[in-house]
Amino acid sequence: LLMWATDPLLHRAFEVIEAWGFTYKTVGFYWVKLNKTAGTLVFDRKSFFTGMGFWTRANPELCLLATRGKPKRRSAAVPKLIVSPRREHSRKPDEAYAAIERLADGPYLELFARQTRPGWDAWGNQLGILDESVGEGPKRRWAATAYPDE
């Protein structure tokens, strides 16, 4: 399980990990968010996106890694740090998906997805809104049009 979490709700992420029967292992990734116009070779303070924060201004977003059983790690060469420009709200960097595929065997499932990708199952009420072309066929496996009534 790789779960993105924000600092203020980190405790909730750990609650979900436990409720789903997983064991927390480590932070899988830190995503250092760059401003969309930042260069890629030399960074200064203006290069880094500054988000909101209750105590300090937020930048990195973390992705927790949890397991059930003893899954096999495919590669020991997967870096923890991802430095990439931020994109649309909540959209994760493409580098994260590639890193996950190098780290562990599938199947792969993204919950609350807004984009489909080859080799991944996806579920979410906004699925497809970030696809370059809608209705790309077989890679779109599950799509919820709305959350069920409570």
Residues 128 and 92 placed together within one structural domain of the fold: no
Residues 79 and 125 placed together within one structural domain of the fold: no
Residues 140 and 117 placed together within one structural domain of the fold: yes
Residues 12 and 82 placed together within one structural domain of the fold: yes
> Residue 109 corresponds to which tokens in the numbers above?
């499932």
Q: How many domains does the chain have?
A: 2
Residues 143 and 132 placed together within one structural domain of the fold: yes
| Cβ neighbours of residue 44 closer than 8 Å, sequence gap 6 or more | none
CB 2 within 8 A of CB 64: yes
Pick from 105, 121, 138: which residue ends a domain?
Answer: 105
Residues 141 and 114 placed together within one structural domain of the fold: yes
Tell me how crowded residue 86 is: count the other CB atoms within 10 A of its CB. Answer: 21
Residues 17 and 36 placed together within one structural domain of the fold: yes
What whole-number distance in Å separates Cα of residue 47 and Cα of residue 60?
13
pLDDT given for residue 148 in this prediction? 44
Residues 28 and 97 placed together within one structural domain of the fold: yes
Residues 128 and 79 placed together within one structural domain of the fold: no
Per-position pLDDT tens, the chain of length 150: 999 998 889 999 999 999 999 999 999 999 988 877 765 555 555 555 566 656 666 678 999 999 999 999 999 999 999 988 888 888 899 999 999 999 999 999 999 898 999 999 999 898 988 887 544 444 444 444 344 443
Instruction: Supply φ then ψ for residue 35, to 5 degrees.
Output: -65, 155
The Cβ-side half-sphere exposure at 25, using a 13 Å CA radius, reads 16
SS (H, E, C) 58-125: CCCEEEEEEECCCCCECCCCCCCEEEEECCCCCCCCHHHHHHHHHHECCCEEEECCCCCCCCEEEECC
Q: Name the β-bridge partners of 82.
A: 31
Residue span of the structural domain in which 137 resides: 107-150
Residues 97 and 131 placed together within one structural domain of the fold: no
Residues 134 and 95 placed together within one structural domain of the fold: no
Residues 97 and 119 placed together within one structural domain of the fold: no
pLDDT given for residue 88 in this prediction? 85
pTM: 0.75
